[in-house]
Amino acid sequence: MHRWKHAFWALLFPLGLTAQVDATQAEVSTSRILFVLDASNSMYGRWDEGTKMEIAQRLMSSMLDSLSQVPNPQFQLALRVYGHQKPVPPQDCNDTKLEVGFADNNLGRIKQVIRGLRPMGTTPIARSILRADNDFPKDCPTGHCRDIIILITDGVEACDEDPCEASAILQKKGRVLKPFVIGVGLDKDLIKAFDCVGTYYDASDENTFKKALGVIVTQALDNTTGQINLVDQFGKNSGTNLPILLRNATSHLVDRSIIHTMNYHNQPDTLLVDPIVTYEGTVYSIPPRPIHETPMYAGKHNHLAADVVQGGLKLTMPGLKLSQTPPVAVLRHVDAVDILHVQTFNSTVTYIVDTYDLDILTLPRIRQRITLKPGTTQEITIPPAGEVTIQLKSPGFGAIFAIDGSDWEWVTPLDELQTRQQFSLQPGTYKVIYRPRAAQQTTYSKTQTFIVSPGSSTLVRIL
């Protein structure tokens, strides 16, 4: 950690609270913190050694003084205030205003506004949260911004609106992260009203207010670390090299897109994660595997995980000629319609261990039910096809059948417009049935048997 960061936290929080800040992430990410401050009439209430407003003014001013000493800050602050413009009665639920917008070097202005506040009005919390949506600029100076609301209040909603719904709307839109709420001397019976608004901190006295403000600002300005464990059948983190999408579990918007990597210690590589966010995600193995909702904790190395127990499938066709196109196989879940993957022969692909239906798109089709086992590769080998040319006297109707004893299996139709046709057929015995287009009687139907050997060329004439 840089020296200035130690000095900053020591100055702001003498109790020794420190932050884990990553310099690399700080260069590409901006934390934008909007303080939503209660200046309603109740903030005149006595609290410890002064009024609630006096204590809030003093502690926030101290925090701003400390933040102003940070060189090359990768954060911006703004201030919205409610209940400070019109007295009650009467009640004005539009008494909420962005007093200082986001900008560089505006901490002195925020401090000046806070110092001049005089409580007088009502408590429109929900409306203030909703209007905060427009307080954050649409453009981000570094390309990646963490938009955070810190609500400081001593009362509950007074305008018959729903702060929980307002908070949910902003989070689901992906506009802001989960808000922080500091309850200033709030009645214990009212605290539950904020559980759904955001992460709540109960400031029962001046000292706990100071601690809560320190913890929140620490989390708001910092990133922390984590890793994604792709767990095998032995519970080891052996999976890697797979695409992963991490999402904010509230908004379900993609927060990070990565290819999983093992570091030089052969451990999952460390990621910078946001301690405010609960993540979920998808590991794009075949088929994909979920990363279930996982909260992050500031100051700790966090672990996200998915069960990725894999086995290999190797498809081979020995003797395939360079001029021949290798066949493909279609993989599905058992008795399912949707295709999971299409694999080309003479390749090996890793799948999640399970039982699958495999359709090999040769002529005729080869269908198998396979069970892949952890840590092993199952090999399926088929012989190379034979090239068959069917020469007809004239265009006509017909089809090719594979013969197995007394069983006939339809393979493919003939092209009714062509007299010379080519097919790649698996080794075996076949019959072709044909009738010329011009013939008007079934007695003109002809049947001819032929045999296909691996890699052979066969000419079948029907005259």
The amino acid that residue 133 corresponds to is: D
Q: How confident is the model at residue 221 (pLDDT cuts 50, 70, 90)?
A: confident
Domains of the chain are 3-221 (3.40.50.410), 225-307 (2.60.40.1120), 310-381 (2.60.40), 386-462 (2.60.40.1120)
Cis peptide before 137 (omega within 30 of 0): no
Q: Which tokens go with 455?
A: 């890699």
Q: Which tokens go with 186?
A: 């709030």
Q: What tens digit of pLDDT does each residue of 396-447 get?
A: 999 999 999 999 999 999 999 999 999 999 999 999 999 999 999 999 999 9
Q: Which tokens go with 203?
A: 């400031």
Q: How confident is the model at residue 3 (pLDDT cuts 50, 70, 90)?
A: very low
Q: What tens digit of pLDDT does each residue of 81-112 get?
A: 999 999 999 999 999 999 999 998 999 999 99
Q: Which residue has the higher pLDDT, 131 or 176?
A: 131
Q: Which tokens go with 364?
A: 């005729």
SS3 state of residue 111:
helix
| Confidence (pLDDT) at 195 | 87
Q: What tens digit of pLDDT does each residue of 322-348 get?
A: 777 899 999 999 999 999 999 999 999
What would the mean pLDDT of 221-234 be, rounded to a whole number?
90
| Confidence (pLDDT) at 159 | 95
The amino acid that residue 9 corresponds to is: W
- What residues have CB less than 8 Å from 366, skipping those under 6 apart? 359, 360, 382, 426
What would the mean pLDDT of 213-242 be, rounded to a whole number?
90
H or E, element range at 131 = helix 125-131
Q: What tens digit of pLDDT does each residue of 182-196 get?
A: 999 888 888 888 989
What Rg, from alpha-carbon coordinates, does the chain have? 35
- 3-state percent helix, strand, coil for the chain, nearest multiple of 5: 20, 40, 40
Quick one: what percent of the chain has pLDDT higher than 70? 94
Q: Which tokens go with 296?
A: 């992050």
Cis peptide before 395 (omega within 30 of 0): no
* Cα–Cα dist 96/82, whole Å: 4
Residue 150 has pLDDT above 90, yes or no: yes
| Confidence (pLDDT) at 236 | 93
| Confidence (pLDDT) at 11 | 41
Q: How confident is the model at residue 28 (pLDDT cuts 50, 70, 90)?
A: low
92: left (phi over 0), alpha (psi -120 to 50) or beta: beta
* Cα–Cα dist 225/441, whole Å: 80
Q: Which tokens go with 290?
A: 């979920």
Q: Which tokens go with 215?
A: 């913890």
The amino acid that residue 151 corresponds to is: L
Mean pLDDT of the chain: 90
Quick one: what percent of the chain has pLDDT higher than 90? 72
What would the mean pLDDT of 269-295 be, rounded to a whole number?
94
What would the mean pLDDT of 121-138 be, rounded to a whole number?
95
Q: Which tokens go with 347?
A: 């390749």
Cβ atoms of 103 and 110 closer than 8 Å: no
Q: Distances in Å between the alpha carbon of 74 and those of 69, 242, 275?
A: 13, 32, 17
| Confidence (pLDDT) at 29 | 74
Q: What tens digit of pLDDT does each residue of 355-384 get?
A: 999 999 999 999 999 999 999 999 999 999
